[in-house]
Chains A and B, each alone.
Chain A
Amino acid sequence: MRSPLRPLTRRGLLTGTLGSAALLAAGGSLAGCGTKAATQTEAGCVSDDLSGTEKTLAFSNWPQYMDVDEKDESKRPSLDEFVTRTGIKVTYTEDINDNNEFFGKVQNQLAACQGTGRDIIVLTDWMAARMIRLGWIQKLDKAKIPNVQANLLPSLLDRSFDRENRIAVPWQSGLAGLAYNGSVAKEIRTVDELLTRPDLKGKVTALSEMRDTIGLLLQSNGHDPANFTAAQFDDALNKLKKAVDSGQIRRFTGNDYAPELAKGDIAACIGWSGDVIQLAGENEKIRFVAPDSGVILFSDNMMVPNKATHKANAEELINYYYEPAVAAKLAAYVNYICPVKGAQAEMEKIDPELAANPLIFPDEALLAKSKVFMALDEQQEREYEGKFQQVIGA
């Protein structure tokens, strides 16, 4: 008697594999249409605004980027006040952990001009620039955000990816500079020291964000990260490569350098001001250094993506967070650079010590040496990012 299913033999498997391969080839021709361009235009992808009838707002942000009540962590005082004042119900989600990862999450919808279910997203400058370039972000109505016009820090006006200041509004800003742990290393003043000092060998990390690491290196070469040439980029990259090859740089990190710096596994690094303030709060030997050659000023920007249906509500929220008193409340919790003029005066009333902290309210001297990394076009982004990834090994 023949059983209905033959036992699987190697020959059977081979035949099966060959069959699947044939299927694969056939399917290949089926799938053979490539992908469409992801770019959208203002005319081609029109979004409706239902704010008039729907008093709701979906706000996606990074974790620990909003003030919470000390006693009840589920309460967010500044956001709750907005809800009471305007009657707009805000769904606040902390679902952005990484710019690239978030891009991967929403790219299919935005490339096809579909909604993401989010009215406000918060992304870092370079990712904001990429999305703006792709035409995925709605323009804001300047008349509805007067506080932004009045109170945005001058250094953050007229950025190369948003000349009109009406697409991307900074939520918080920060500096990329140097940091060291005083219990393992002597004070460090310059980028060159970080990359060459023998006592730091193998105990240095740099950021895997190309703009921050290369930006600082460009500045250390006397070049301007807001406006540089391909040759200047290569100079900076070669300098980095030397430090990687010599074993000076141990690895490239995201936020994960922070615990290692605290433990002393790494002695010095390229890091972000906000992280370092928090570490310094627990261990005063950990210091942030703004080298004389300059630091990189970056922002995480609030943006309204295409097909978000509550743009007017979003504008109301953006405008609200540019009231100095509200901005001060937020800055007292978040520890990044507050992009709102006048918030420092308000902060005096809440916490004079924080008001005097130059890494939250930078003084003129620090702002003068802070530069925003230039917006790259797609070709440059690919070329520079590709070269950088080669050097950092991925």
Chain B
Amino acid sequence: MTALAHLGGAPTPTAPPGDRDATRGSYRLLPYLLLLPGAAWLFLFFTVPLLQLAAASLYDPAGSLSTGYALTWAFGNYPDALQAYWPQFGRSFLYAGVALVLALLMGYPLAYAIAQKAGRWKNLLLVCVVAPMFTSFLVRTLAWKTILSDNGWLVGLLRDVHLLGPDGRLLATPVAVVLGLTYNFLPFLVLPLYASLERLDARLLEAASDLYASPTQAFRRVTLPLSMPGLVAGTLLFFIPASGDYINAELLGTPNEYMIGNVIDSAFLVRLDYPQGAALSFLLMAAILAVVFVYLRRAGTEEVL
């Protein structure tokens, strides 16, 4: 995660001193050679499958597994898929967005406290943030089923204080899905934020108060701008997987809470409608890219791009 923290100020690599013309050629090539294994890996296992997926999204929708699919450049698959499943699209971004706000409200103070106020407890607290990730995503989500269970203590408590009606429930509602998303992706937000805030020089805050800034002003003018790279990286790392997630909706929600991930899952595995599944996957990618792009422009962090 520290790598993310350095996104902001990566030092410009300079040629080593004593660089002579004779060796310059090999130095020129070196960075590209170093890139080669990673690039080859990305090409084989990311670019090629992505191209196949792109091709699949343009297959003739009348094809089938037993007759095969012909590539007919059927661009109509895209509007068809969108028309059939726009509610799930909207829901995905809505739930991920609400979860992001909740996660920010909890995650920012948490990251700040760990980075600036925890003293010798810092490492222990960091382990506490990361520790849940040692168990599987699925197990953690199933644990939430127990926590939110109709006969569990939480629902009982909420009923007693009349926040929920006598027959009210949490499980199988949008609330449960959003809570699950918030919990499952919170560490992805907290860790980059922590990395930024940890480098914040406390003397800057002292200087701000010497210059008669109130704590609020100091936060707005010093802390917040300096934590921006971490904040941007963290929100992206949170929002992108959260909007494509389907486990939380599947386990904690009902059909009325299904997100776009559930639809893609069923298109590929249950309905065997590969063109539609591929088209939906690309639409999801495009939508996320668009959201990210607008967000980065507005957040104005040239460094992250």
Contacts and interface: CB of A to CB of B under 8 A. Distances in A.
Interface of A: 1, 3-5, 7-10, 13, 23-24, 27-28, 30-39, 100-101, 103-104, 107, 111, 133-134, 202-203, 244, 249-252, 256, 260, 263-265, 378, 382, 385-386, 389, 391-394
Nearest to A209: B270
A393 B69 contact: no
B66 A378 contact: yes
A3 B12 contact: yes
Nearest to A393: B255
19 contacts: A1-B14, A5-B31, A24-B54, A28-B55, A28-B58, A32-B55, A34-B70, A37-B68, A100-B269, A202-B169, A202-B172, A251-B172, A252-B255, A263-B149, A264-B150, A265-B171, A378-B66, A382-B272, A392-B255
B255 A394 contact: yes
B60 to A, nearest CB: 8
Interface string B238-266: 00000000000001011110100011011
A32 B266 contact: no
Interface of B: 10, 12-15, 27-28, 30-31, 47-48, 50-52, 54-55, 58-60, 63-71, 145, 149-151, 167, 169, 171-172, 251, 253-256, 258, 262-263, 265-266, 268-273, 302, 305
Contact of B255 (A23, A134, A244): A244
Contacts of A252: 255
A382 B253 CA distance: 25
A34 B70 CA distance: 4
A252 B258 CA distance: 11
Nearest to A27: B51
B268 to A, nearest CB: 7
Given A34-B63, A34-B70, A202-B169, A7 B12 contact: yes
B253 A251 contact: yes
Nearest to A252: B255
Most chain B CB neighbours (cut-off 10 Å) among A250, A392, A393: A393
A101 B13 contact: no
**8 cross-chain pairs, A with B, having the tightest CB-CB distances, nearest first:** A393-B255, A37-B68, A31-B55, A394-B266, A27-B51, A251-B254, A100-B269, A34-B71
Contact of B15 (A4, A36, A244): A4
Nearest to A39: B66
A264 B151 contact: yes
Contacts of A100: 269-270
B66 A386 contact: no
Nearest to B70: A34
Contacts of A382: 64, 271-273
A30 to B, nearest CB: 7
A111 B66 CA distance: 9
B82 to A, nearest CB: 15
Nearest to B167: A202
A249 B172 CA distance: 10
Nearest to B257: A393
A134 B254 CA distance: 34
Nearest to A14: B305
A70 B255 CA distance: 41
Contacts of A134: 65-66
A389 B266 contact: yes
Contact of A1 (B15, B145, B302): B15
A101 B266 CA distance: 11
A100 to B, nearest CB: 4
Contacts of A13: 305
A9 B10 CA distance: 12
A36 B65 CA distance: 8
Nearest to A25: B54
Contacts of B150: 203, 263-265
A334 B282 CA distance: 44
A202 to B, nearest CB: 7
Nearest to A10: B305
Contact of A28 (B14, B54, B66): B54
Contacts of B268: 104
B262 A393 contact: yes
A386 B69 CA distance: 18
A385 B270 CA distance: 8
Contacts of B68: 34-38
B15 to A, nearest CB: 6
Contacts of A31: 51-52, 54-55, 71
A85 to B, nearest CB: 39
Given A28-B54, A250-B172, 4 more contacts: A1-B15, A35-B59, A265-B151, A394-B263
Contact of B28 (A4, A111, A386): A4
